[in-house]
Structure 1
Amino acid sequence: MQVNRSLPDKAMDHIDHALGRPLDPLQESYRNYFAAGQSLAIEMGQSPYWCFNGRPPGDNALSFFSVTDAGRAALAEYLKQIGDPHRAFIVSYQGTSTTVVATSRSKARRSYYLDIADVMPDLTYGDFLRKAKVHVVVPLRKVADEERSKQEASA
């Protein structure tokens, strides 16, 4: 799942961009590459967050990099630190459900309505609001962390 965001820290923004701006950077993403010019390539080559993957044949101006596990972890921590508001929501309507990335329940509901309104021209937003249900998706990692905290507290 992708997120439409831009991060103030340029180094973290490059990692986020290379991974396709995923909701959860610790999960496998559909992409993991970044093409950098010479000056940026020098910085990336010295960072533990990047792995050098070579250059295109006959082109010394570009270098290809991928994000390391340390880079994914750093991005996840950064997103937590800045309080990134993006979450996954399950929106259900008339027996179908879909996962929507948004910053609130109401924005997730509105996003799904806009997705289906083209194929359901008679559906009003008011009717959709009365019938649609929205639930927050709790990441499995968060559930596991909470269980671990409970076990440590009881020990």
Structure 2
Amino acid sequence: MTIKAINRSLKNSAFNEMDHALGRPVNPLTSSYRNFFCVGFDSPRGKEMDASPYWDRVSSSDGSVTGFTVNEDGRQALSDHLIEIGDKHKVYDIHLNARKLGLDPDPDNRPIQVIAETKSKAKAAVWREISDVFEDITFKDLMQAITSVDVAIENGMEPEAPAPAPAP
């Protein structure tokens, strides 16, 4: 299971539009499930996007709308902005003992991936998803079944492995 939604709105409207076009990813520099923003054909906003170094015009329809994608410069600028404002969203890997919940374990032992600002919010997101399907599983049951919560991606990057301990 993967929970990929980020509930985020950026104060800077230009960056918010780029973030929206990309599907609000943790890391704007990686491929995302979308990259499209539609504006009125010949609209003032469309003209601004044409003049921006961060957008590329990709389509025009029957004269009513125009589509844009965020280009590599825009992705880099958004990434820099998220770091600058201290965006705290991370991807967490949550491992759990499914048998404790009366469920069959994943044979590949894959974690549940969740995007959240904290470990607690990541656990709560899993609870919201699981409780919709398995009504008999309590929050306490889920917390007892979780074996680990680890940061998988922070600031768009996988965390560095800890440095090896110095030799004695």
Is 2:30 the partner of 1:27?
yes
1:56–1:62 Cα contact (<8 Å) kept: yes
Q: Does 1:41 pair with 2:11?
A: no
- Partner Cα separation in structure 2 for residue 116 and residue 11 of structure 1: 36
Indicate the residue corresponding to 1:52 in structure 2.
57
1:121 Cα shift? 2.5
Could you state the TM-score of these two structures normalised by the residue count of structure 1? 0.83
Q: Distance in 1 between matches of 2:66 and 2:48?
A: 12
Change (3 A) 1:98 1:142: closer
Contact 1:20/1:31 (<8 A) preserved = yes
Q: In the alignment, does 2:130 pair up with 1:116?
A: yes
| Matches of 2:59 and 2:135, distance apart in 1 | 51
The amino acid across from 1:45 in the alignment is D
CA RMSD in angstroms comes to 2.3
The one of the two structures with greater contact order (alpha-carbon pairs below 8 A, sep at least 6) is 2
Match of 1:101 among 115, 118, 132: 115
Question: Is the Cα contact below 8 Å between 2:93 and 2:112 reproduced in 1?
Answer: yes
Letter in 2 for 1:91: I
- 1:142 is displaced (CA, Å) by 5.2
- TM-score, normalised to structure 2, is 0.77
Q: 1:63 aligns with which of 58, 63, 66?
A: 66
Q: Specify the code of the residue in structure 2 equivalent to 1:12.
A: F
Q: 1:129 aligns with which of 125, 143, 152?
A: 143
Q: Which amino acid aligns with 2:152?
A: V
4+ residue runs over 6 A deviation = none
Give the letter for the 1:113 counterpart: W
CA distance in 2, matches of 1:67, 1:100: 25
User: Which has the larger helix fraction?
Assistant: 1
- Where 1:128 maps in the other structure, the secondary structure is helix
Deviation of 1:42 after TM superposition, in Å, equals 0.9
After TM superposition, the structure 1 stretch with the greater mean CA deviation from structure 2, 3-12 or 109-118, is 109-118
Q: How many aligned positions are there?
A: 145
Shift of 1:64: 1.3
| Structure 1 segments unaligned to the other structure (5+ residues) | 151-155
- 2-side partners of 1:41 and 1:30: how far apart? 23
